Amino acid sequence: MNLETGKYYWPTTFPDPPSYPALENEIVCDVAIIGGGSSGAQCAYYLAHSDLHVVLIEKGKIGSGSTSTNTALLQYSGEKMFTDLINTFGKEYIVRHLQLLKEAINEIEKAAKSAEIDCEFIRRDTLYSASSQEDVGRLKNEYDFIKQQGFELDFWTKSDIESNYPFSREAAIYSYNDAEINPFKFTHALLDYAVKKGVQVFENTPMNGHHYDPQEQQMVVTTKTGRSIRARYVIFAAGYEGIDIKKEKQASFVSTYTVTTNPVADFSSWYNRTLIWETARPYLFMRTTADDRIIIGGLDENTIYPEDRDSKLMHKKDKLIQEFNNMFPNIQVKPEFYLSAFYGGTVDGLPIIGTYDEYPNCYFLYAFGDNGTVYSQLLAKLISENITKGNSPDMELYLENRPLL
């Protein structure tokens, strides 16, 4: 899959990351993880706390997939409002989902703080605004629901917004304690942590085949380097390319665009350097970075053809800057990095742990959705618990055949 094109920002923040050898031996292990993006690293992080022999292989370099284009706003609210998800899954289900998302952000913070490499994790509040007058009622219902669950958030009027920002909206949810991170450093940090606890990592080691050996009750993963890994469990954490390994009917893709600007000297008009997004679909979103840049993203297109996606990049880059200028006319920016990328979601709005009869003892981690990093943390923890403890009660919320209403 041609995942993305452009000039990426995150890898430039860590020009000399740890590197790992290609696999050159036969390996027998407990758990094999396929994919060295943030999802694979999050699985490795949890499993590093067990006494299992864990091996991770990455076909290219660590963090070179969607992880390097991830804008890495860490939020619990996502593209589908919780009040809409309740219609599909029921209230109790979604209340639990919401709690798990909050815990996942706490878990990311804990993981980021326990690693030696600084991941630039910073707690941020979020401004989630109504894009039009018609969205105000829906946003208020969403606010009421989240507030009832004990979350810390306020409902802002037009004048609240105008007195804190240089732009105006009809209303907004102002929520506390979301976060931002550097996803490239985070991935390296978790793997560095895991390797120090005994996890083995191999780069430039593409998986090119796999089968189940019923006699040994092992999955056999073969690599392009001509080696094989025999494992009791396999976690496929291949990001959006996971669907090239096993099709998942719930997965859906669009094209998206992001721009990262030059560093900015004065953020005084940007209240608390909040994460900013809105109710329109597709939505525009923005955040700041540890080195004072601004990342602006959105303007999604309904195309899954790379040529089509990439042909619009220059226009989208200009449009994203223009949208930003409309909101913050007093902050002068120029685009220094910009990219187009595929972005995966799921039809029903929840991420998926795929477990299939033809793949015994295997887990497909499809953390698809706008909060992919948060979903990955949540799913990685559930999968690891399932492997190490033999069960994980919350896992059924995310199975591909999850119970619907």
Ligand X SMILES: Cc1cc2nc3c(=O)[nH]c(=O)nc-3n(C[C@H](O)[C@H](O)[C@H](O)COP(=O)(O)OP(=O)(O)OC[C@H]3O[C@@H](n4cnc5c(N)ncnc54)[C@H](O)[C@@H]3O)c2cc1C
Judged by CB under 6 A, the residue of 206, 264, 290, 310 near ligand X is 206
Site size with ligand X, rule: CB under 6 A: 37
Q: Is 289 near ligand X (CB under 6 A)? A: no
Judged by CB under 6 A, the residue of 36, 298, 335, 349 near ligand X is 36
Q: Decide: residue 116, CB within 10 A, 0-12 exposed, 13-18 middle, 19+ buried.
A: exposed
Stretch that binds ligand X, among 56-64, 120-128, 143-151, 330-338 (CB under 6 A): 56-64
Nearest residue (CB) to ligand X, 1 versus 264: 1
Nearest residue (CB) to ligand X, 17 versus 36: 36
Judged by CB under 6 A, the residue of 143, 145, 270, 343 near ligand X is 343
Residue among 75, 124, 121 at smallest CA distance from 374: 75
Token duo for residue 110: 């804990």
Q: Is 248 near ligand X (CB under 6 A)? A: no
Q: How far is CA 5 from CA 65, 134, 300, 369, in A?
A: 11, 36, 15, 20
Task: Please identify the residue of the shown chain whose CB is closest to the bound ligand X.
Answer: 372
Q: How many CB atoms lie within 10 A of CB 119?
A: 24
Token duo for residue 105: 């952000």
Nearest residue (CB) to ligand X, 39 versus 386: 39
Q: Is 65 near ligand X (CB under 6 A)? A: yes
Q: Is 70 near ligand X (CB under 6 A)? A: yes
CA-CA distance, 133 to 184, in Å (whole number)? Answer: 38
356: CB partners within 8 A, 6+ apart: 246, 362, 364, 400
Q: How far is CA 295 from CA 273, 313, 332, in A?
A: 12, 15, 13
Q: Is 341 near ligand X (CB under 6 A)? A: yes
CA-CA distance, 211 to 117, in Å (whole number)? Answer: 36
If you write DSSP's letter for every residue of 77-104 in order, what string do you get? --SS-HHHHHHHH-HHHHHHHHHHHHHH
Q: Is 228 near ligand X (CB under 6 A)? A: no
Stretch that binds ligand X, among 71-79, 137-145, 146-154, 319-327 (CB under 6 A): 71-79
CA-CA distance, 178 to 123, in Å (whole number)? Answer: 6
Q: Is 189 near ligand X (CB under 6 A)? A: no
Token duo for residue 120: 């630039």
For the bound state, the minimum distance from the C-beta of residue 344 to ligand X, rounded and expressed in Å, comes to: 8
Interface positions with ligand X (CB under 6 A): 34-40, 57-60, 64-67, 69-73, 206-207, 237-239, 241, 256, 258, 297, 341, 343, 367, 371-374, 376
